[in-house]
Structure 1
Amino acid sequence: MSQGTLVKRQVGHRARLALSPAGVRSADDQAHAARTLWNLLHAWWRMMPKEKRTLGHADAAIRQARQDIDFLAVLPAQAAQAVLKTYFRAWQNCWEGHADAPNFKSRLRTVMSVDVPQGRDLNITRVHRRWGMVNLPKVGRVRFRWTKDLPVGKHASTENRITGARLIKDTLGWHIAFRVQTLQAEPAPHRGPDVGINVGVTVPLALSDGETYEHGAWLTGKEKARLLHWEQRAAQRKQHRRPGERTSRRLHRTYDRIAGLRAKAKRRALDWQHRTTTAIARTYNTVVVEALTIPNMVKSARGTLEAPGKNVAQKSGLNRSISREAWGRTVTLLTYKTARYGGSLVKVPAPGTSRRCSACGRTTPGSRESQAVFVCKNTGCGWSGNADHNAARNVLHLYRMGLALVPAAGRAVVRRAKRVKPATAR
């Protein structure tokens, strides 16, 4: 694609809603109706013969169900049609091998959501520097946090507009996710240098040029104490519950307080990841990372009865630390952000990058003296430096050698390619 070509992009923007108690009940009812409609549609699909599993027969079944079941009427008709289209799309993804077959949605494990397919029904206006107003079907006019400029009013056009939205409920309450269609110019090639990144627990992101990105605790001292208090309170109240007895409302409120604090920590972590990955994508041309198999890295060391594991508690703590850093989400954010600024993200093989010397290229036992220090034990080298930066330099060196992992037939293979060393490389 030539430089300057205009392309359509679909982006999303999520904002917090300020619903009244009546609005919360209305949104909850719509979400439960959408989940029930999905389950009824799935039951209908399993009951009908293959020749009648068509979009027309399913649409007629949904219309009849909305007439027979009263509480399904709280769901807007367009939202019901969105459930139907999403269900059929789920089967298409299954047939194409992209996902598993759709199943029933549980009340406790399903994210509560409602679709607003038509963007023109939203009627978005900005009323304040920090607040906007949106029209939600069968809920009314609702305020939402204005944290990003949206193509509304005189700024909207055929190419730049809001095509729809989805209401999503999480631990912190109801949010709205706008689907925004924009017409943007293809970004020019990035002129920045290449960089290798090593991810870790002590140092979250270490770059090959010596830069590091670190963060503190996601919760303050008082918030940690409060979280520990509610966790202990939940454990105590759970002990008094008899087997098979229904969970009390008091225990449910305790669980909600715990979930709220954990959601606050997760939101702060996500904000740090967005800010950090945006800074990296703006600065560097090619970002090189390790191809880590994170599910294998966080497996339990418990073992079996015949062969019990060792250091199970220590491995559990390491697994929790790795999961909190969310390395996979960092790579996902870097993937689309580097492309947005004209760069690219490349994955290289991970084995040996932390044990190999970046100066002489040899792996000598005992060089990794500690978690933070690397001292090459190879005779004639003796290079020493930060262990995380050493690993990041090895990651970048693998890319400059022409090693890259590319997906092929559902697996990753190594590709060797000749590459001219850039003038900006160190």
Structure 2
Amino acid sequence: MSAPGAGSATGVGAGGAPVRHVPPALRPALDDERLARAAWSRLAEPGDAAAAALVAEVGAALALEAVVTGRGPQRWRTRLEETDPAADLARARAVGGRLVVPGDEEWPEGLHDLDRPAGTERPQGAPLALWVRGPAHLARAVHRAAAVVGSRAASAYGEHVTSEIAGGLAERGVGVVSGGAHGVDAAAHRAALAVGGTTVAVLAGGVDRPYPAANSALLARVAREGALVSEVPCGSAPTRWRFLERNRLIAALTAGTVVVEAAWRSGALSTADRAERLLRPVGAVPGPVTSAASAGCHRLLRERGAVCVTCAAEAAELLAPLGAAAPVPAPAVEVRPFDGLDPHELRVAESLPRRGAAGTERLAGDTGLEVAVVHAVLGRLELAGTAVREGTGWRLGSAALRPPGSRRPAPRG
């Protein structure tokens, strides 16, 4: 590549054609796909499906050449002079970060789904590169992972349930992915770390800029034990737009999304929406019907067919391939007298005296059943130990007089 002149620089692009007016910092990227993708991560905003399509079609270096020669949308040229991919790589290395691009062993395969159209909707746009900070191997960390998201202004109930679900998933070897924000996100990361699990925080700004600042210590720990991920270079500021586009990465990196607590209009619902468009399962945790903090979860359950999730086992079941997961065991419940009796048996058993005895005609009168039916029912209750013959009458048997406390699985359905 020739040296630049004082007025207009001339270089050779990836296709061998001369390229004029190339900012010096960008010249190496015209011959290097990795550097070119680093440059694109600064030139194009997250979720720019047009940029993703162009790079996928011709490669990052040729696409970059098109931009510096004046072809392509003007929005990609506004940052040319300030783009220095080598400097961005150096900044990332300085904080223990690295660049991960498609084709790398560490690139998560699920991100490719973002380039596929969802019905009549345009593709969501796969990231052109990811900036990763932390020891976790990204592809392995999210190979079997759940997005656990929810309200920043989480209630005590929301944080408690989040900790139970995220901690339980991490103990089962499931990676926990969230956005590093206050409330549910922070509780999910903390719970995964507390049990020695893997957690990934997807950020809207650079991996060197923990946001919110109040979560700096938590995000620093995630960077030491898990991974911080962003599709914008170090130094980039988090913006509202980037938060919204960040949600598509959280959805695409994971096998399913669990919304723990969300108001009627909540960013967590955006993540659920992105997951639905990617055909990933969505679960929602119900809350008190009077709680505005759970209105979004109830909306997902009522209007959008989300799966009701109440514990880590149900969240893990949500992530399993269709038909592969064993049903979540029903909780054990206290055995009560007369459990399992049919309606006629229940009526007779409830009419049996504890002391003394009652004849069949009296029992028929008390239950409103025919005498013949009472005879048949008493025979069955006697076999079960619920009824005992005493002289010419019947009384309640010992099987129905056991003190409560024994437990058995609750019936399903």
Instruction: Give the TM-score taking structure 2 as reference length.
Output: 0.27
**Which has the larger Rg?**
2
Larger relative contact order (CA 8 Å, sep ≥ 6)? 1
Report the TM-score when normalising by structure 1: 0.26
Which is richer in strand?
1
